[in-house]
Structure 1
Amino acid sequence: MAAARRSPARTVLLTATAWALAALFLLPYLEMVVTAGRPADQLRDSGYLPTHFDWSSFTKVWTDTTLGQNLQVTLLVAGGSTLLVLLVALPAAYYTARVRFRGRKAFLLLVLVTQMFQPTALQVGLYREFYTLGLLNTVWVLVLANAAFNLAFAIWILSAYIGSIPVELEEAAQIDGNGRIGALFRVTLPLALPGVVTAVIFTFIAAWNEFIMGLTLTDSPDRQPLTVGIDNMIGAYSVQWNHVFAASIVAIVPVVVLFAVIERHVVSGLTAGSVK
């Protein structure tokens, strides 16, 4: 009875704590919105809120900077690298999950080791390689580089998810007249959709937020990704913080919306293979 009487208070306490933590995490984003709407002559004022809001910074970043071109480049890079990773990771993950070939563990270990490499430590070699291929300052150089650094994670998550799907389902589909490829597309891939979505969203977000490779491998302002374009707004002697935060809001909104839409698939995909 005493525990039952304490449960409403405990619920209120947990709810208040959850709201407080949510507010703590949302405050930086609220600060971004407030600063983006702050007039230029009030950027150095000590008050948290300006006397009035001026949302013209959202239009000026489109007309006075290369934000539109940077956003287009980022969309092409994130979409292209995600598609390339999916095309390579799916066959590799399916083969490692279904076939017990000699050297399988060594292959998976090699995939894991490549995940430990940091792009920053490989920039000199990457720059020299892409310079030789004549791909510097193009969208292709960013697509290939981002795909290479996100391929290992996609293979691991897809291999774990496909491995959790009973192989008997594919065998039953093959008995019904489907070949191995038909069973893959008609049975395995639909069941592995949460794992595929997880690989897609993590690859897309990683390519969307990438900065170092975009800064090193491209030099034209209109061919650089969004992260580098925002960094270019920070001048040596002055910074229009309302423009910087307006551009930052434009950069984060698509990813936040995308993640919110498919969040349930991401959670189920990350837990794939954890329960046998």
Structure 2
Amino acid sequence: MEDRIESVLSRFRVEKGAGFRLKDHKPDDTAGLSMKKSEASALLKRGVDILATQQDMLYAQDRWSVLCIFQAMDAAGKDGAIKHVFSGVNPQGCHVVSFKAPNTIELDHDFLWRHAKALPARGQIGIHNRSWYEEVLVARIHPAILESQKLPPRLLTERIWQDRLEDIAAYERYLGRQGVVVLKFFLNISPEEQRLRFLKRIEEPEKNWKFSARDVAERRHWDDYQAAYQEAIRATATPGAPWYVVPADRKWFTRLVVAAAIARTLESLDLHYPVVTEEQKRALVQAAEELGA
């Protein structure tokens, strides 16, 4: 079973960006797996339980922290993946931030500032719904966003996107050296599946709130976004901060891959509960005797 899980994960894990091609990763790929909804739910439940146990040890050990970054086109299922995969995690050991357009205070700082403020503390899992990668994605597609960032004109060169990717890669290396494990998930949805999910949001009243006319406008830049994602993954995929290009056309499979990737990473950290010293054991015995009396 362990070999099967690793085989599936290695299919989607990108640790060396050179030569990466997004078109080689199919949004409807399920690695040959086929199962009923009930079977997928049961398997995810097992993964969630394992993740909960590991997160408890991560919190108790208080040495490592884990940062999970989620990037995707609209309607790819980031919110759903976060909701289901982390459903069993203790809220005290988990911190979720959904990044929107930067406000005026954030625009007066460097582009990494607001993200650095939201990094998980030791013992915690941090979840960033969108991240610093927006600064080489949406800001690249829409020049007005870059113009709003108040950079000195001499810094707005043709190399700005390459420079930002180099800064991101360097920052992720720094985090790794500080005990912050960085996992990056790109939920890879097809344009047809996105279209169907948009229509569902329009047709079902309880989902209307999820839809914005801006979603359709962004869809017109599909090819530009795919090119930007490909370049970002090429420039920043490393063994220490890998990307998982997760097929997103089948939600059940997306969630299984994300859960397995996080669980496997936590397993690699040699997590354990703090060892009780002999002195502490004697204190425990004494306390038990006092309470018993």
Fold shared by both chains (TM-score > 0.5): no
Relative contact order (C-alpha < 8 Å, sep 6+): which is higher? 2
Q: TM-score, normalised by structure 2?
A: 0.24
Q: TM-score, normalised by structure 1?
A: 0.26
Q: Which has the higher strand share?
A: 2
